[in-house]
Protein backbone atom coordinates (compact mmCIF):
# COMPACT_ATOMS: atom_id res chain seq x y z
CA UNK A 1 0.00 0.00 0.00
CA UNK A 2 1.33 3.45 -0.95
CA UNK A 3 0.65 6.74 0.78
CA UNK A 4 -2.57 8.47 -0.24
CA UNK A 5 -1.81 12.14 -0.86
CA UNK A 6 -4.43 14.89 -0.90
CA UNK A 7 -2.43 17.82 -2.22
CA UNK A 8 0.93 19.55 -2.23
CA UNK A 9 0.65 22.13 0.56
CA UNK A 10 3.93 24.07 0.65
CA UNK A 11 7.63 24.05 -0.23
CA UNK A 12 10.13 24.82 2.52
CA UNK A 13 13.52 26.57 2.40
CA UNK A 14 16.45 26.64 4.81
CA UNK A 15 18.55 29.81 4.71
CA UNK A 16 21.12 31.43 7.04
CA UNK A 17 20.45 34.58 9.01
CA UNK A 18 20.66 37.67 6.83
CA UNK A 19 19.74 35.89 3.59
CA UNK A 20 17.29 38.11 1.67
CA UNK A 21 14.93 35.43 0.38
CA UNK A 22 12.04 36.44 2.66
CA UNK A 23 12.28 40.11 1.68
CA UNK A 24 12.64 39.28 -2.01
CA UNK A 25 9.58 37.04 -2.04
CA UNK A 26 7.49 40.00 -0.91
CA UNK A 27 9.20 42.95 -2.54
CA UNK A 28 10.19 41.38 -5.86
CA UNK A 29 7.96 38.36 -6.41
CA UNK A 30 4.70 39.74 -5.02
CA UNK A 31 4.15 37.12 -2.32
CA UNK A 32 2.22 37.92 0.85
CA UNK A 33 3.65 37.15 4.29
CA UNK A 34 0.67 35.62 6.10
CA UNK A 35 2.05 33.67 9.07
CA UNK A 36 5.21 33.73 11.15
CA UNK A 37 6.81 31.93 14.05
CA UNK A 38 9.74 33.09 16.18
CA UNK A 39 11.89 30.56 18.05
CA UNK A 40 15.17 30.95 19.88
CA UNK A 41 17.24 29.54 17.03
CA UNK A 42 14.94 29.85 14.04
CA UNK A 43 12.50 32.21 12.38
CA UNK A 44 9.79 30.60 10.24
CA UNK A 45 7.78 32.68 7.78
CA UNK A 46 5.01 31.53 5.46
CA UNK A 47 4.38 33.34 2.17
CA UNK A 48 1.65 32.80 -0.40
CA UNK A 49 0.65 33.89 -3.84
CA UNK A 50 -2.56 32.21 -4.88
CA UNK A 51 -2.26 28.60 -3.71
CA UNK A 52 1.54 28.61 -3.98
CA UNK A 53 2.96 28.64 -0.43
CA UNK A 54 6.64 28.94 0.53
CA UNK A 55 7.90 28.49 4.09
CA UNK A 56 11.27 30.12 4.79
CA UNK A 57 13.15 28.66 7.76
CA UNK A 58 15.85 31.16 8.67
CA UNK A 59 18.63 30.36 11.07
CA UNK A 60 19.08 33.03 13.72
CA UNK A 61 21.54 33.69 16.50
CA UNK A 62 20.13 33.83 20.07
CA UNK A 63 19.48 37.43 21.06
CA UNK A 64 19.77 36.97 24.80
CA UNK A 65 16.19 38.11 25.45
CA UNK A 66 13.86 35.77 27.27
CA UNK A 67 11.30 34.05 25.08
CA UNK A 68 7.85 33.36 26.43
CA UNK A 69 6.50 29.82 26.06
CA UNK A 70 4.10 31.09 23.41
CA UNK A 71 7.08 32.12 21.32
CA UNK A 72 8.17 28.61 20.54
CA UNK A 73 6.05 26.18 22.51
CA UNK A 74 8.33 23.35 23.59
CA UNK A 75 10.58 23.83 20.59
CA UNK A 76 13.66 26.03 20.31
CA UNK A 77 14.05 25.12 16.66
CA UNK A 78 11.52 24.69 13.89
CA UNK A 79 8.19 22.93 13.48
CA UNK A 80 6.93 20.73 10.62
CA UNK A 81 10.41 20.15 9.20
CA UNK A 82 13.82 18.85 10.21
CA UNK A 83 16.33 21.27 11.71
CA UNK A 84 18.50 21.10 8.62
CA UNK A 85 22.12 22.18 8.91
CA UNK A 86 23.24 22.78 5.35
CA UNK A 87 26.24 24.61 3.91
CA UNK A 88 24.24 26.61 1.35
CA UNK A 89 20.74 28.04 1.10
CA UNK A 90 18.39 25.38 -0.18
CA UNK A 91 14.80 24.48 -1.01
CA UNK A 92 14.54 21.08 0.63
CA UNK A 93 11.10 20.27 2.04
CA UNK A 94 7.91 19.43 0.13
CA UNK A 95 4.82 19.11 2.31
CA UNK A 96 1.94 16.85 1.31
CA UNK A 97 -1.44 16.89 3.00
CA UNK A 98 -2.58 13.37 3.88
CA UNK A 99 -5.36 11.74 5.90
CA UNK A 100 -3.59 9.13 8.04
CA UNK A 101 -0.15 10.27 9.20
CA UNK A 102 0.53 7.36 11.63
CA UNK A 103 -0.61 4.72 9.13
CA UNK A 104 1.36 6.20 6.23
CA UNK A 105 4.47 6.68 8.38
CA UNK A 106 4.36 3.07 9.53
CA UNK A 107 3.89 1.89 5.96
CA UNK A 108 6.87 3.95 4.77
CA UNK A 109 8.96 2.63 7.65
CA UNK A 110 8.15 -0.93 6.59
CA UNK A 111 9.25 -0.07 3.05
CA UNK A 112 12.66 0.92 4.43
CA UNK A 113 12.20 4.70 4.45
CA UNK A 114 13.88 6.83 7.08
CA UNK A 115 11.35 8.65 9.26
CA UNK A 116 13.11 11.81 10.42
CA UNK A 117 10.27 12.95 12.69
CA UNK A 118 7.72 10.35 13.90
CA UNK A 119 4.00 11.21 13.98
CA UNK A 120 3.62 14.31 16.16
CA UNK A 121 0.62 16.42 17.17
CA UNK A 122 0.60 20.19 17.57
CA UNK A 123 -2.42 22.17 18.76
CA UNK A 124 -3.66 25.66 19.53
CA UNK A 125 -7.02 27.38 19.99
CA UNK A 126 -7.93 26.64 16.33
CA UNK A 127 -7.58 22.86 16.60
CA UNK A 128 -4.76 20.43 16.02
CA UNK A 129 -2.62 18.91 13.27
CA UNK A 130 -0.61 15.71 13.04
CA UNK A 131 2.58 15.49 11.00
CA UNK A 132 5.67 13.41 10.35
CA UNK A 133 8.73 13.95 8.17
CA UNK A 134 10.28 11.32 5.88
CA UNK A 135 13.60 11.52 4.05
CA UNK A 136 13.25 11.20 0.28
CA UNK A 137 15.69 9.42 -2.00
CA UNK A 138 16.76 12.74 -3.58
CA UNK A 139 19.69 14.54 -1.92
CA UNK A 140 18.60 16.65 1.04
CA UNK A 141 14.90 16.63 0.11
CA UNK A 142 12.41 15.60 2.81
CA UNK A 143 8.63 15.33 2.80
CA UNK A 144 6.39 16.56 5.58
CA UNK A 145 3.19 14.50 5.77
CA UNK A 146 0.50 16.67 7.31
CA UNK A 147 -3.07 16.06 8.42
CA UNK A 148 -4.76 19.42 9.05
CA UNK A 149 -8.35 18.19 8.73
CA UNK A 150 -9.00 19.11 12.38
CA UNK A 151 -7.52 22.58 12.10
CA UNK A 152 -9.28 25.82 11.10
CA UNK A 153 -6.49 28.38 11.62
CA UNK A 154 -4.88 30.42 8.85
CA UNK A 155 -1.82 28.16 8.61
CA UNK A 156 -0.48 25.83 11.33
CA UNK A 157 -0.33 25.71 15.16
CA UNK A 158 2.61 27.67 16.51
CA UNK A 159 2.39 30.30 13.78
CA UNK A 160 0.92 33.74 14.35
CA UNK A 161 -1.24 35.24 11.63
CA UNK A 162 0.13 38.33 9.91
CA UNK A 163 -2.44 40.92 8.87
CA UNK A 164 -2.55 41.28 5.07
CA UNK A 165 -1.40 44.49 3.49
CA UNK A 166 -4.14 46.95 2.63
CA UNK A 167 -3.35 46.88 -1.07
CA UNK A 168 -2.84 43.46 -2.57
CA UNK A 169 -1.34 42.73 -5.95
CA UNK A 170 -3.28 40.88 -8.60
CA UNK A 171 -3.43 37.15 -7.98
CA UNK A 172 -2.58 36.05 -11.50
CA UNK A 173 -0.08 33.51 -10.08
CA UNK A 174 -2.20 30.62 -8.88
CA UNK A 175 -0.28 27.46 -7.95
CA UNK A 176 2.81 25.27 -8.37
CA UNK A 177 2.95 23.85 -11.90
CA UNK A 178 5.97 21.58 -11.45
CA UNK A 179 9.06 20.99 -9.34
CA UNK A 180 12.36 20.01 -10.94
CA UNK A 181 15.04 17.92 -9.23
CA UNK A 182 18.66 18.06 -10.40
CA UNK A 183 19.91 14.47 -10.23
CA UNK A 184 23.28 12.71 -10.76
CA UNK A 185 23.74 10.81 -14.00
CA UNK A 186 21.97 7.47 -14.02
CA UNK A 187 19.89 8.07 -10.87
CA UNK A 188 16.51 9.02 -12.36
CA UNK A 189 15.11 5.49 -12.54
CA UNK A 190 15.81 4.89 -8.85
CA UNK A 191 14.00 8.14 -8.02
CA UNK A 192 11.02 7.17 -10.16
CA UNK A 193 10.88 3.74 -8.51
CA UNK A 194 11.02 5.23 -5.01
CA UNK A 195 8.17 7.68 -5.61
CA UNK A 196 6.11 5.00 -7.34
CA UNK A 197 6.59 2.56 -4.47
CA UNK A 198 6.10 5.06 -1.64
CA UNK A 199 3.64 7.62 -3.02
CA UNK A 200 1.95 6.03 -6.09
CA UNK A 201 3.60 8.45 -8.52
CA UNK A 202 3.49 7.38 -12.16
CA UNK A 203 5.43 8.42 -15.25
CA UNK A 204 4.25 11.51 -17.08
CA UNK A 205 5.56 11.71 -20.63
CA UNK A 206 7.10 15.09 -21.35
CA UNK A 207 7.14 14.78 -25.11
CA UNK A 208 5.85 12.40 -27.78
CA UNK A 209 9.46 11.19 -28.19
CA UNK A 210 9.77 10.47 -24.46
CA UNK A 211 11.06 6.91 -24.05
CA UNK A 212 9.60 4.78 -21.26
CA UNK A 213 13.09 3.73 -20.14
CA UNK A 214 15.47 6.44 -21.32
CA UNK A 215 13.20 9.44 -20.78
CA UNK A 216 13.36 12.42 -23.10
CA UNK A 217 16.89 13.07 -24.32
CA UNK A 218 17.86 16.43 -25.79
CA UNK A 219 21.31 16.21 -27.28
CA UNK A 220 23.34 18.46 -29.52
CA UNK A 221 26.38 20.70 -29.73
CA UNK A 222 25.25 22.77 -26.73
CA UNK A 223 22.73 20.50 -24.99
CA UNK A 224 23.13 17.18 -23.22
CA UNK A 225 20.08 16.66 -21.05
CA UNK A 226 17.78 13.83 -20.04
CA UNK A 227 14.37 14.65 -18.58
CA UNK A 228 11.86 12.31 -17.01
CA UNK A 229 8.69 13.32 -15.20
CA UNK A 230 6.14 11.87 -12.81
CA UNK A 231 2.88 12.87 -11.19
CA UNK A 232 0.75 11.61 -8.33
CA UNK A 233 -1.80 9.04 -9.47
CA UNK A 234 -4.44 7.33 -7.33
CA UNK A 235 -6.72 4.72 -8.88
CA UNK A 236 -5.74 5.89 -12.34
CA UNK A 237 -6.53 9.56 -11.71
CA UNK A 238 -4.38 12.54 -10.83
CA UNK A 239 -5.96 13.87 -7.64
CA UNK A 240 -3.79 16.89 -6.91
CA UNK A 241 -5.97 19.98 -7.07
CA UNK A 242 -3.63 21.61 -9.57
CA UNK A 243 -1.83 18.51 -10.89
CA UNK A 244 1.72 19.49 -9.91
CA UNK A 245 4.33 17.38 -11.69
CA UNK A 246 7.86 16.40 -10.67
CA UNK A 247 10.58 16.62 -13.32
CA UNK A 248 13.99 14.91 -13.01
CA UNK A 249 16.90 16.51 -14.87
CA UNK A 250 20.28 14.85 -15.32
CA UNK A 251 23.11 15.60 -17.71
CA UNK A 252 24.12 13.08 -20.33
CA UNK A 253 27.56 11.41 -20.27
CA UNK A 254 30.44 12.86 -22.24
CA UNK A 255 28.99 16.35 -22.36
CA UNK A 256 30.68 19.53 -21.29
CA UNK A 257 29.93 20.79 -17.80
CA UNK A 258 26.40 22.22 -17.65
CA UNK A 259 23.92 23.74 -15.20
CA UNK A 260 22.88 20.39 -13.74
CA UNK A 261 26.52 19.58 -12.96
CA UNK A 262 26.95 23.09 -11.55
CA UNK A 263 23.93 22.64 -9.28
CA UNK A 264 25.17 19.28 -8.00
CA UNK A 265 28.58 20.75 -7.17
CA UNK A 266 27.47 24.04 -5.62
CA UNK A 267 24.53 22.46 -3.78
CA UNK A 268 26.62 19.54 -2.50
CA UNK A 269 24.39 16.98 -4.16
CA UNK A 270 20.97 16.45 -5.69
CA UNK A 271 18.03 18.65 -4.75
CA UNK A 272 15.31 21.01 -5.91
CA UNK A 273 16.70 22.99 -8.84
CA UNK A 274 13.64 25.09 -9.59
CA UNK A 275 9.94 25.50 -8.93
CA UNK A 276 7.51 26.60 -11.64
CA UNK A 277 4.73 29.00 -10.68
CA UNK A 278 1.64 28.83 -12.86
CA UNK A 279 0.33 32.19 -14.03
CA UNK A 280 -2.70 33.17 -16.07
CA UNK A 281 -0.86 36.24 -17.41
CA UNK A 282 2.83 35.59 -17.89
CA UNK A 283 3.50 38.88 -19.66
CA UNK A 284 1.91 40.95 -16.91
CA UNK A 285 3.51 38.86 -14.16
CA UNK A 286 6.98 39.01 -15.71
CA UNK A 287 6.64 42.76 -16.31
CA UNK A 288 5.65 43.42 -12.69
CA UNK A 289 8.45 41.24 -11.34
CA UNK A 290 11.05 42.78 -13.64
CA UNK A 291 9.94 46.25 -12.52
CA UNK A 292 10.38 45.12 -8.90
CA UNK A 293 13.92 43.94 -9.53
CA UNK A 294 13.65 40.27 -10.56
CA UNK A 295 16.36 39.28 -13.04
CA UNK A 296 15.30 36.86 -15.78
CA UNK A 297 17.30 34.77 -18.20
CA UNK A 298 16.81 35.83 -21.80
CA UNK A 299 17.24 33.51 -24.78
CA UNK A 300 19.51 34.40 -27.70
CA UNK A 301 17.95 37.07 -29.91
CA UNK A 302 17.99 34.59 -32.78
CA UNK A 303 15.19 32.71 -31.00
CA UNK A 304 12.69 35.43 -31.94
CA UNK A 305 14.03 36.10 -35.42
CA UNK A 306 13.45 32.59 -36.73
CA UNK A 307 10.64 32.66 -39.27
CA UNK A 308 8.96 29.58 -37.82
CA UNK A 309 8.95 31.12 -34.34
CA UNK A 310 7.50 34.39 -35.61
CA UNK A 311 4.72 32.44 -37.30
CA UNK A 312 4.05 30.42 -34.15
CA UNK A 313 3.72 33.55 -32.04
CA UNK A 314 1.54 35.27 -34.61
CA UNK A 315 -0.68 32.19 -35.00
CA UNK A 316 -1.59 32.05 -31.31
CA UNK A 317 -2.22 35.80 -31.12
CA UNK A 318 0.69 36.81 -28.89
CA UNK A 319 2.75 39.99 -29.28
CA UNK A 320 6.24 39.15 -30.55
CA UNK A 321 7.78 42.37 -29.27
CA UNK A 322 6.37 41.93 -25.76
CA UNK A 323 7.69 38.39 -25.52
CA UNK A 324 11.05 39.56 -26.82
CA UNK A 325 11.20 42.48 -24.36
CA UNK A 326 10.86 40.19 -21.35
CA UNK A 327 12.56 37.09 -22.74
CA UNK A 328 9.41 34.94 -22.66
CA UNK A 329 9.54 31.72 -24.67
CA UNK A 330 6.54 30.32 -26.52
CA UNK A 331 6.09 26.81 -27.88
CA UNK A 332 3.03 25.69 -29.84
CA UNK A 333 4.47 22.42 -31.11
CA UNK A 334 2.89 20.42 -28.31
CA UNK A 335 -0.44 18.72 -27.95
CA UNK A 336 -0.99 18.66 -31.71
CA UNK A 337 -0.39 14.94 -32.19
CA UNK A 338 -3.56 13.28 -33.38
CA UNK A 339 -5.55 16.50 -33.66
CA UNK A 340 -8.51 16.12 -35.97
CA UNK A 341 -9.90 19.64 -35.91
CA UNK A 342 -7.92 22.31 -37.83
CA UNK A 343 -8.83 24.90 -35.22
CA UNK A 344 -7.39 23.00 -32.29
CA UNK A 345 -3.68 23.60 -32.84
CA UNK A 346 -3.52 27.30 -32.08
CA UNK A 347 -5.26 26.75 -28.74
CA UNK A 348 -2.48 24.53 -27.42
CA UNK A 349 0.70 26.31 -26.47
CA UNK A 350 2.70 27.33 -23.44
CA UNK A 351 4.94 30.22 -22.46
CA UNK A 352 7.86 30.08 -20.00
CA UNK A 353 10.55 32.21 -18.44
CA UNK A 354 13.26 31.52 -15.81
CA UNK A 355 14.63 33.84 -13.14
CA UNK A 356 18.33 33.93 -12.43
CA UNK A 357 19.43 32.05 -9.28
CA UNK A 358 17.95 33.44 -6.07
CA UNK A 359 20.99 32.61 -3.92
CA UNK A 360 24.71 33.37 -4.11
CA UNK A 361 25.28 29.88 -5.42
CA UNK A 362 24.18 28.89 -8.93
CA UNK A 363 21.42 26.68 -7.59
CA UNK A 364 17.73 27.43 -7.01
CA UNK A 365 15.62 29.57 -9.34
CA UNK A 366 11.95 30.14 -10.15
CA UNK A 367 10.13 29.59 -13.41
CA UNK A 368 6.94 31.29 -14.59
CA UNK A 369 4.72 29.25 -16.89
CA UNK A 370 1.41 29.89 -18.61
CA UNK A 371 -0.40 27.03 -20.31
CA UNK A 372 -3.01 27.52 -22.98
CA UNK A 373 -4.31 24.00 -23.51
CA UNK A 374 -0.82 22.47 -23.35
CA UNK A 375 -0.21 19.87 -20.65
CA UNK A 376 3.36 18.92 -21.53
CA UNK A 377 6.61 20.76 -22.35
CA UNK A 378 7.95 22.00 -25.68
CA UNK A 379 11.34 20.90 -27.02
CA UNK A 380 12.02 24.30 -28.55
CA UNK A 381 11.54 26.00 -25.18
CA UNK A 382 13.67 23.44 -23.37
CA UNK A 383 16.54 23.97 -25.79
CA UNK A 384 16.26 27.77 -25.64
CA UNK A 385 15.98 27.85 -21.85
CA UNK A 386 18.91 25.46 -21.52
CA UNK A 387 21.05 27.60 -23.82
CA UNK A 388 20.19 30.87 -22.05
CA UNK A 389 21.04 29.37 -18.65
CA UNK A 390 24.21 27.76 -20.01
CA UNK A 391 25.41 31.05 -21.52
CA UNK A 392 24.96 32.69 -18.10
CA UNK A 393 26.83 29.87 -16.35
CA UNK A 394 29.68 30.08 -18.85
CA UNK A 395 30.00 33.83 -18.25
CA UNK A 396 30.08 33.31 -14.49
Residue 174 and residue 280 in contact, taking contact as beta carbons nearer than 8 Å? yes
- pLDDT of res. 68: 43
DSSP 159: P
Residue 122 annotated as binding site: no
Q: Tell me the average confidence (pLDDT) per consecutive run of 10 residues in the chain, 396 residues long.
A: 82 92 96 93 93 93 51 66 92 96 96 97 97 97 97 96 69 88 95 95 80 75 81 63 84 80 95 96 94 91 85 90 92 53 60 94 94 78 68 64
Q: Is 178 annotated as a binding residue?
A: yes
> Angle at the Cα of 118 (from 112 to 119), degrees rounded to 5?
120
- Between CA 183 and CA 304, with CA 392 as vertex, the angle to 5 degrees is 105
- Entry pTM: 0.90
User: Which residues are within 8 A (CB) of 87 and not within 5 positions of it... i.e. 6 or more apart?
Assistant: 268
Distance CA 104, CA 221 (A): 46
Give me the pLDDT at residue 83, please: 87
Quote the CA–CA distance of 21 and 363 in Å, as a whole number. Answer: 13
Q: What was the pLDDT predicted at 60?
A: 76
Q: Quick one: CA dihedral 88, 89, 93, 94, positive or negative?
A: negative
Distance of CA 242 to the CA centre of its chain: 13
Quote the pLDDT of residue 129: 98
Task: Say whether 274 counts as a known binding-site residue.
Answer: yes
Q: Name the packing angle between helices 259-266 and 379-395 (round to 10°).
A: 50
Q: What is the pLDDT of residue 340?
A: 38
Among 246, 354, 376, 347, which residue's Cα sits nearest to residue 290? 354
Q: What is the pLDDT of residue 75?
A: 59
Amino acid sequence: MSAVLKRLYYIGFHVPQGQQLANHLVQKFGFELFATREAEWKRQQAFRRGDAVFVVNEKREPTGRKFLPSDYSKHKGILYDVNLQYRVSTASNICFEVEDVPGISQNLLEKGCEILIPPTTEADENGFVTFSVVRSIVGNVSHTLLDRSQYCGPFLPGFCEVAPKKFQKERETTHFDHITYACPQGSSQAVLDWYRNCFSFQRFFIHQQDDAVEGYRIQGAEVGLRLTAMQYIDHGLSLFEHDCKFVLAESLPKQKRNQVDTFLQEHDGAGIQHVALYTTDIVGTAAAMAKSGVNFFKPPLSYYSEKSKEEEIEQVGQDLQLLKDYGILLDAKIGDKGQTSPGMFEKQYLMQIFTKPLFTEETFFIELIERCGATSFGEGNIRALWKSVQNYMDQQ
